[in-house]
């Protein structure tokens, strides 16, 4: 007797044993040789098939050769009479048939099983045959399939009907000839047969509206016994009702009596399906809703959680359009607030909030308060939105509802949850004038401890608009000014703008606002300083209590009718001169151009030194730059541009990175340089490249950079010629050479005489990955099989010692420069082997797909030892 598995004390509680731990495709394919043994071991064969099915379902791909070999081996298992093994054979044939060649060899065995006396063989053989067959073979076995549809054994009949549903997608003309047999199967006493027959019959007739209507008319007279089939019939009936043009203005509609009669069915699924169908009818009346609501109300007190959930979810939807019809269920739903299933409780609360009356609001708030701490944020958001709707429905209850929102605002929660509460309070303040004072104070208290910058700035903006309109605006100034001392620069800048709005709207507060704004002029952030200076000048910094001009109020409170993209572009192109920038010159229409690039921090090269952002692709932007240089215009089409490679350390006097541009016969190095010394001007900047360790490259052109002022990125280029279409590799040494001139910091003018200087840069490598472009494929298996076997290559490499399997996978992807497909770049925890699917386009527009199997050496050695032991035992 097998001993139970005892876990050690130091094992993690959540760790579970998996029989497939460490499974590897190569080892399983070796095990599959057991299918060829003269004396078949049914149990061992079933285990090997289980492993193969596991690999296939985990996304493992088999080559055509591997799939065909396994397929041929599996066919030999038909000689075994073990029923369990035969079922596994049917499963593996269905999974391998799309990948294997010559599936026709198994059809004779399957056809023999289809006529077997064993019903299990017949049913499964039909399913498999219909999965692997084509139109030619289908005509040969059509007679058998028709007989199977009306077979006395329900398992065989269901197998034939399900196969017909699949075949209808590929061979509709043949399946449509089975209508008489399918019509007979609809009258079957077997529940599953009737269900599948009705589904197939509807699909055969679905494009004929009149035929569907006749089908529904004939079946609604009580010939359907299967609950599953009855649910299908209800759905088809509602479809006919929607499409029917016979609806009258009095609310009478065809087949409604049938739906109502289904509410008295003995099967709960049929009752619920009919009730839901009635509630979803277009223009349903209160009279039509009443029986459905009554049934759903009974389900609310069911002992089955699935029925309670289904009923309360349906009632929740009905409450959106017919809240009064659901009112009778409120007492039952109140009992669901304490339901163990939190989804049921949340739906019950939100439904009550939609249907409750004014007198029940306070009672609901007490119940919800205890409930909120037990549910996740996504459920809390639903409750908050329902409370907001209730408050707008009963504005006199704003105090209790606003207090509830403010209390939960101070509790723990994520950004989306807190944003939902803040949005609700803002809406209530705008729509209920009496709630403004208390609502603004709640928001002020919230920003004292708010951890989300976005919410703080939005609340400050709202305070600047609504705060000055209150009876006592001065009480909000303390909360606003606290933000200047305690928050980050973004929030401080928003607080400065809010204070300026108070100063513009409330003249009595101007002297105090001026004092606070003057303190902000010494802030550490330039945005805060600039805003404080701007508002002081705009409002009149002398502190006089005068009425603010209309133009100033328009400037502070008016909306900007100019697209920010256009404004930023115009400001960037503005050249400093005596003529001021005219905002009226900015175009009002939106331009479909990307935002201008901002300089990255740390004095790093910008422009084309980094991959361009926006809708223009990197290759297109670089190609446009290179084609504009006459020396490179004859190189042909640019194949690929690499990511920038840093050649200097951070925060050095000269920052240089390089981008490698790959052509069929040329490689161009674009050196992006930045001078970070304000007292220097660099001229005639070039990079001297030593290609002695790159024998296949010969230097062709050097294009120097004429001038490199302080903090203004520039580019210098060096072009090399290489053999056509060859992935030549090599190492290049780089030396930055230039003439340096001293700059007078007061006048900004450079001296006439300069000194030639050099600066050593890091070495640069051109590797095979530079000739590979990352291009993904939507269906890797199809892309792999589309390449002929004559182009397939198999090899084995060593990666050396690695910290982990994940690091090894990352290294391989980096070395090859290819795109991981289907998420195979992620390595499962505790895995001893991994298969990664890669695709790309090699120089010369050659599409490449690759299956990389990575195995830890220690594990591989253990597998080989086990195989040697097995071979010794066998021999």
Map 420-439 to HEC letters: HHHHHHHHHHHHCHHHHHHH
743 in the same domain as 628? yes
Dist CA 383 CA 369 (whole Å): 11
849 in the same domain as 830? yes
pLDDT for position 547? 58
Residue 21: inside a domain: no
Dist CA 46 CA 54 (whole Å): 12
Dist CA 437 CA 443 (whole Å): 10
Helix (H, G, I), strand (E, B) or coil at 33: helix
pLDDT for position 301? 87
pLDDT for position 858? 54
538 in the same domain as 505? yes
Dist CA 368 CA 355 (whole Å): 15
pLDDT > 80? residue 374 = no
What letter would DSSP give residue 549?
P
As beta bridge partners, residue 681 has 741
Cα angle 297-301-306, degrees, rounded to a multiple of 5: 95
498 in the same domain as 399? no
pLDDT for position 576? 77
Over range 538-555, report the average pLDDT.
Answer: 64
The more confident residue out of 158 and 590 is: 158
722 in the same domain as 858? no
The more confident residue out of 795 and 673 is: 673
pLDDT > 80? residue 249 = no
CB 860 within 8 A of CB 866: no
Over range 624-649, report the average pLDDT.
Answer: 85
Residue 851: inside a domain: yes
pLDDT for position 611? 41
Residue 693: inside a domain: yes
831 in the same domain as 785? yes
Residue 653: inside a domain: yes
Looking at 322-331, 374-383, 441-450, 648-657, which range is the least confident one? Answer: 374-383
What six digits make up the tokens of 441?
């104070």
748 in the same domain as 656? yes
Count the helix, strand and coil residues of the chain and give each as a percent rounded to the nearest 5.
Answer: 55, 10, 30
pLDDT > 70? residue 248 = no
pLDDT > 90? residue 669 = yes
pLDDT for position 780? 77
How far, CA to CA in Å, does 438 sit from each of 296, 370, 410, 416?
Answer: 41, 23, 15, 23
Pick from 768, 779, 777, 770: nearest CA to 839: 777
Dist CA 792 CA 681 (whole Å): 56
Residue 37: inside a domain: no
pTM of the model: 0.52
Looking at 79-93, 203-217, 553-567, which range is the least confident one? Answer: 553-567
Over range 58-81, report the average pLDDT.
Answer: 85
Looking at 296-310, 422-436, 639-653, 829-843, which range is the least confident one? Answer: 829-843
Q: What is the band of 391 on the pLDDT scale with cuts at 50, 70, 90?
A: confident
Dist CA 629 CA 619 (whole Å): 16
pLDDT for position 639? 85
Q: Please count the residues of the chain.
A: 875
Over range 331-355, report the average pLDDT.
Answer: 82
pLDDT for position 609? 40
690 in the same domain as 555? no
Cα angle 345-351-357, degrees, rounded to a multiple of 5: 125
How far, CA to CA in Å, does 791 sit from each of 530, 785, 787, 824, 846?
Answer: 65, 11, 7, 23, 12
Residue 228: inside a domain: no
Q: Give the chain's radius of gyration (CA, Å).
A: 38
pLDDT > 60? residue 781 = yes
pLDDT > 60? residue 528 = yes
The domain of 398 spans 357-449
640 in the same domain as 729? yes
The residue with tokens 């996504």 is 378
Q: What is the band of 831 on the pLDDT scale with cuts at 50, 70, 90?
A: low
Residue 224: inside a domain: no
Q: How many domains does the chain have?
A: 4
How far, CA to CA in Å, does 370 sit from each of 96, 373, 378, 422?
Answer: 55, 7, 17, 21
Over range 141-153, report the average pLDDT.
Answer: 88
Q: Is 255 left (phi over 0), alpha (psi -120 to 50) or beta?
A: left
Over range 782-802, report the average pLDDT.
Answer: 78
Over range 358-369, report the average pLDDT.
Answer: 70
Q: What is the band of 860 on the pLDDT scale with cuts at 50, 70, 90?
A: very low
Picking from 449, 468, 486, the residue at the C-terminal end of a domain is: 449
Dihedral sign for Cα atoms in the order 511, 516, 519, 520: negative
Pick from 462, 357, 365: nearest CA to 419: 462
Picking from 718, 743, 766, the residue at the C-terminal end of a domain is: 766
Looking at 74-78, 222-226, 556-560, which range is the least confident one? Answer: 556-560
Q: What is the band of 484 on the pLDDT scale with cuts at 50, 70, 90?
A: confident
pLDDT for position 574? 80
pLDDT > 70? residue 865 = no
Dist CA 535 CA 495 (whole Å): 12
- What CATH number is given to the structural domain containing 656? 2.60.40.1480
Dist CA 154 CA 120 (whole Å): 11
pLDDT for position 555? 67
pLDDT > 60? residue 13 = no
722 in the same domain as 845? no
The residue with tokens 């939190």 is 342
Q: Give percent of the chain with pLDDT exceeding 70.
A: 85
pLDDT > 80? residue 91 = yes
pLDDT > 70? residue 488 = yes
Over range 298-310, report the average pLDDT.
Answer: 91
Work out the mean pLDDT of the chain and round it to a whole number: 81
Picking from 711, 746, 766, the residue at the C-terminal end of a domain is: 766
pLDDT for position 544? 52
801 in the same domain as 746? no
pLDDT for position 607? 40
Alpha carbon 780 to its chain centroid, in Å, reads 20
pLDDT for position 103? 66
Alpha carbon 738 to its chain centroid, in Å, reads 49
What six digits make up the tokens of 315?
């009632």
Question: What do you get for the CA distance between the two ends of the chain, in Å?
Answer: 30
516 in the same domain as 381? no
Residue 246: inside a domain: no
Helix (H, G, I), strand (E, B) or coil at 827: coil
């Amino acid at each position: 007797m097998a001993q139970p598995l005892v876990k050690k004390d130091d094992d993690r509680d959540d760790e579970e044993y998996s029989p497939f731990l460490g499974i590897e495709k190569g080892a399983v394919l070796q095990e599959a040789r057991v299918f060829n043994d003269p004396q078949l071991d049914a149990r061992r064969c079933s285990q090997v098939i289980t492993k193969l099915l596991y690999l296939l379902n985990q996304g493992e791909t088999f080559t055509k050769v591997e799939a065909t070999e396994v397929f041929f081996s599996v066919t030999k298992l038909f000689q075994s009479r073990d029923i369990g093994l035969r079922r596994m054979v049917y499963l593996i044939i269905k999974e391998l048939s799309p990948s294997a060649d010559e599936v026709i060899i198994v059809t004779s065995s399957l056809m023999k099983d289809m006529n077997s006396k064993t019903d299990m063989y017949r049913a499964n053989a039909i399913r498999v045959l219909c999965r692997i067959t084509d139109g030619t073979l289908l005509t040969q076995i059509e007679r058998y399939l028709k007989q199977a549809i009306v077979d006395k054994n329900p398992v065989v009949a269901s197998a034939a009907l399900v196969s017909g549903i699949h075949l209808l997608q590929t061979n509709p003309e043949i399946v449509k000839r089975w209508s008489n047999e399918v019509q007979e199967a609809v009258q079957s006493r077997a529940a599953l047969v009737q269900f599948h027959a009705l589904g197939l019959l509807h699909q055969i007739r679905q494009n004929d509206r009149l035929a569907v209507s006749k089908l529904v008319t004939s079946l609604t007279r009580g010939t359907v016994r299967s609950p599953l089939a009855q649910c299908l019939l209800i759905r088809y009936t509602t479809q006919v009702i929607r499409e029917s043009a016979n609806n009258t203005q009095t609310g009478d509609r065809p087949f409604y009596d049938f739906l109502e009669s289904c509410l008295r069915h003995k099967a709960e699924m049929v009752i619920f399906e009919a009730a839901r169908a009635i509630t979803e009818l277009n223009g349903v009346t209160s009279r039509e809703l009443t029986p459905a609501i009554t049934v759903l109300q009974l389900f609310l007190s069911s002992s089955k959680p699935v029925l309670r959930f289904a009923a309360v979810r349906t009632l929740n939807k009905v409450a959106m359009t017919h809240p009064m019809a659901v009112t009778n269920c409120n007492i039952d739903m109140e009992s669901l607030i304490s339901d163990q299933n939190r989804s049921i409780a949340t739906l019950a609360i939100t439904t009550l909030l939609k249907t409750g009356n004014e007198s029940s609001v306070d009672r609901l708030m007490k119940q919800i308060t205890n409930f909120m701490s037990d549910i996740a944020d996504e459920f809390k958001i639903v409750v908050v939105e329902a409370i907001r709707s209730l408050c707008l429905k009963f504005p006199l209850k704003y105090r209790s509802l606003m207090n509830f929102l403010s209390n939960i605002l101070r509790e723990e929660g994520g950004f989306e949850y807190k944003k939902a509460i803040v949005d609700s309070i803002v809406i209530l303040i705008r729509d209920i004038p009496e709630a403004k004072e208390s609502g603004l104070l709640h928001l002020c208290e919230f920003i004292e401890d708010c951890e989300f910058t976005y919410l703080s700035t939005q609340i400050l903006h709202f305070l600047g608009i609504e705060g000055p309109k209150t009876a006592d605006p001065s009480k909000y100034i303390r909360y606003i000014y606290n933000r200047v001392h305690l928050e980050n620069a973004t929030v401080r800048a928003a607080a400065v703008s809010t204070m300026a709005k108070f100063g513009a709207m409330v003249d009595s507060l101007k002297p105090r606002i001026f004092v606070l704004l003057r303190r902000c002029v010494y802030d550490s952030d330039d945005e805060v300083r600039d805003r404080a200076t701007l508002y002081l000048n705009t409002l009149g910094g002398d502190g006089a209590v005068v009425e603010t001009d209309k133009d100033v109020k328009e400037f502070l409170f008016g909306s900007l009718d100019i697209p920010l993209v256009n404004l930023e572009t115009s400001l960037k192109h503005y050249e400093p001169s005596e003529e001021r920038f005219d905002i009226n010159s900015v175009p009002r229409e939106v331009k479909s151009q990307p935002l201008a690039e901002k300089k990255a921090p740390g004095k790093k090269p910008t422009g084309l030194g980094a991959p361009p952002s926006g809708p223009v692709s990197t290759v297109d932007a670089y190609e446009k730059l290179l084609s504009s240089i006459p020396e490179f215009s004859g190189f042909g089409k640019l194949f690929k541009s690499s990511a920038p490679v840093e050649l200097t350390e951070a925060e050095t006097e000269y920052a240089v990175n390089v981008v490698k541009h790959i052509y069929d016969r040329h490689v161009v190095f674009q050196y992006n340089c930045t001078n970070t010394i304000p007292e220097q001007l660099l001229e005639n900047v070039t990079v001297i490249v030593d290609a002695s360790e790159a024998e296949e490259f010969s230097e062709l052109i050097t294009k120097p950079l004429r001038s490199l002022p302080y903090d203004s990125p520039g580019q210098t280029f060096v072009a090399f010629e290489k053999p056509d279409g060859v992935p030549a590799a090599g190492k290049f040494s780089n030396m930055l050479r230039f003439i340096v001139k001293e700059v007078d910091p007061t006048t900004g003018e450079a001296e006439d005489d300069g000194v030639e200087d050099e600066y050593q840069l890091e070495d640069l490598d051109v590797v095979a990955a530079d000739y590979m472009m990352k291009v993904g494929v939507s269906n890797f298996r199809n892309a792999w099989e589309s390449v002929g076997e004559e182009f397939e290559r198999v090899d084995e490499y060593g990666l050396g010692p690695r910290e982990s399997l994940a690091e090894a996978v990352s290294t391989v992807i980096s070395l090859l420069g290819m795109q991981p497909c289907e998420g195979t770049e992620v390595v499962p925890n505790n895995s001893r082997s991994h298969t990664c699917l890669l695709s790309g386009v090699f120089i010369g527009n050659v599409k490449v797909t690759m299956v990389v199997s990575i195995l830890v050496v220690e594990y591989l050695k253990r597998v080989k030892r086990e195989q040697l032991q097995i071979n010794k035992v066998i021999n």
